């Protein structure tokens, strides 16, 4: 197994990566907030195949959590993460402190456009401003050839793809499919906050989305599909609906006539945590 280098400062990371880049090595980047699971490890697996050096960051980014959200409760386990990162083949693990990433607040905000108007952008105001801020900083620090993002966070991925295109950022975004438990629940660091009963019910989310996909194929109206997906989740779990929305993907507009793919995305609140999931459906038959 290759040796993992753990780095906490930007200066050290850039000095190390400068050496790799001078030798002509390509860099793949997996940004995370830690508490790693198979979803993250699948990002690493993709990065490992396409690059000489794989860098993972672990940073629970305060800028993307709103007041009253789960920043403090977000699960953290640096030692376990380092072990999993080593096994997965990460070369460099970047674990900065909040002070290293945000030494002072300059007040500059990056505002996402219309893709942030719905879904998590609507129910977590400012969330994607914070995501874009940290992602831009991380891209500038790591300067990766390829950057890997999971489809479970489909809205985040769509916004970051637009950000990279609109601002000519020099990295290629690679979409990686959602990894699921055997019963269909999307892998998420937040799943540890489900009670035993909630864990048994949570696969209803993916079942509801699959049902939604069948209703899209049958040509039902959008609001009826959204209602039936919500009803299924409410009938089969104790979760309450934050949103269920059917939109064009990746534009994330309500107008779906000229799109080749639609997304049904949902967020469901359980007692201690809020889970998101989605399904993407081709409209071309
Ligand atoms: O998807 C995540 O884990 C985070 O939003 C990211 C991209 C690492 C930015 O903090």
125-180 pLDDT per residue, tens: 999 999 999 999 999 999 999 999 999 999 999 999 999 999 999 999 999 999 99
Question: Encoding tokens for residue 40?
Answer: 């993250």
- The catalytic residue positions are 40
Q: Among 56, 153, 175, which is best to mutate for testing ligand 1, by the most ligand atoms less than 8 A from CB?
A: 153
Amino acid 284: pLDDT: 81
φ, ψ of residue 149 in degrees (nearest 5) = -135, 145
Pairing of strands 240-248, 261-269: antiparallel
CATH 3.30.1300.10 domain span(s) along the chain: 189-282
Q: What distance in Å separates the CA atoms of residue 160 and residue 178, rounded to the nearest whole number?
A: 17
Neighbours of 4 (CB within 10 A): 17
Whole-number Å distance, alpha carbon 26 to ligand 1 midpoint, is 22
CATH architecture of 189-282: 2-Layer Sandwich (3.30)
Q: Which H or E run contains 84?
A: helix 78-88
Q: Compute the Cα dihedral for 185, 154, 13, 26 and give only its sign.
A: positive
Q: Among 55, 58, 61, which is best to mutate for testing ligand 1, by the most ligand atoms less than 8 A from CB?
A: 61
Q: Is 32 in the pocket of ligand 1 (CB under 6 A)?
A: yes
Q: Is 155 in the pocket of ligand 1 (CB under 6 A)?
A: no
Amino acid 32: pLDDT: 98
Q: What distance in Å separates the CA atoms of residue 238 and residue 247, rounded to the nearest whole number?
A: 25
**Among candidate residues 166, 162, 163, the one with its CA nearest the CA of residue 134:** 163
Spatial strand order of the sheet with 274-282 comes to: 240-248, 261-269, 274-282
Amino acid 1: pLDDT: 52
φ, ψ of residue 205 in degrees (nearest 5) = -65, -50
Q: Is 61 in the pocket of ligand 1 (CB under 6 A)?
A: yes
Q: Is 63 in the pocket of ligand 1 (CB under 6 A)?
A: no
Global pTM reads 0.97
Neighbours of 104 (CB within 10 A): 6
Ligand 1 atom closest to the Cα of residue 150 is 1
Q: Is 64 in the pocket of ligand 1 (CB under 6 A)?
A: yes
Amino acid 105: pLDDT: 84
Amino acid 106: pLDDT: 82
CATH 3.40.50.620 domain span(s) along the chain: 5-176
Half-sphere exposure of 149 (CA within 13 A, CB side): 18
Q: What distance in Å separates the CA atoms of residue 135 and residue 76, rounded to the nearest whole number?
A: 20
Q: What distance in Å separates the CA atoms of residue 98 and residue 270, rounded to the nearest whole number?
A: 28
Q: What distance in Å separates the CA atoms of residue 184 and residue 205, rounded to the nearest whole number?
A: 9
What residue ranges of the chain have pLDDT lower than 70? 1, 285
Q: Is 134 in the pocket of ligand 1 (CB under 6 A)?
A: yes
Whole-number Å distance, alpha carbon 93 to ligand 1 midpoint, is 15
Q: Is 136 in the pocket of ligand 1 (CB under 6 A)?
A: no
Burial of 103 per CB tally in 10 Å (0-12, 13-18, 19+): exposed
For the domain spanning 5-176, the CATH number is 3.40.50.620
Half-sphere exposure of 49 (CA within 13 A, CB side): 8
Ligand 1 atom closest to the Cα of residue 64 is 10
Whole-number Å distance, alpha carbon 222 to ligand 1 midpoint, is 30
Amino acid 13: pLDDT: 98
């Amino acid at each position: 197994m290759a040796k993992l280098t753990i780095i906490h400062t930007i200066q050290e990371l850039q000095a190390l990566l400068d050496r790799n880049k001078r030798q002509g090595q390509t860099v793949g980047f997996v940004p995370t907030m830690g508490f790693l699971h198979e979803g993250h490890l699948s990002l690493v697996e993709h990065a490992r195949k396409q690059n000489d050096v794989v860098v993972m960051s672990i940073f629970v980014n305060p800028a993307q959590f709103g007041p009253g959200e789960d920043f403090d409760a977000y699960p953290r386990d640096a030692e376990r993460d380092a072990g999993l990162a080593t096994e997965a083949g990460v070369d460099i693990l970047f674990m900065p402190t909040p002070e290293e990433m945000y030494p002072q607040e300059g007040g500059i905000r990056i505002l996402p456009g219309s893709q942030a108007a719905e879904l998590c952008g609507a129910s977590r105001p400012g969330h994607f401003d914070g995501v874009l801020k940290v992602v831009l900083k991380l891209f500038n620090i790591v300067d990766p050839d390829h950057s890997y993002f999971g489809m479970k966070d489909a809205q985040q991925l769509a916004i970051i793809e637009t950000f990279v295109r609109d601002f000519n950022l020099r990295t290629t975004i690679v979409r990686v499919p959602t990894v699921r438990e055997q019963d269909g629940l999307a892998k998420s660091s937040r799943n540890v906050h489900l009670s035993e009963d909630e864990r048994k019910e949570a696969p209803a989310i993916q079942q509801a989305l699959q049902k939604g996909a069948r209703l899209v194929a049958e040509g039902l109206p959008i609001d009826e599909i959204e209602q039936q997906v919500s009803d299924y989740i409410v009938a089969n779990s104790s979760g309450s609906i934050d949103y269920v929305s059917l939109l064009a993907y990746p534009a994330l507009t309500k107008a779906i006539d000229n799109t080749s793919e639609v997304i049904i995305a949902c967020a469901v609140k359980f007692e201690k945590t809020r889970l998101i999931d989605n399904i993407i459906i081709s409209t071309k038959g």
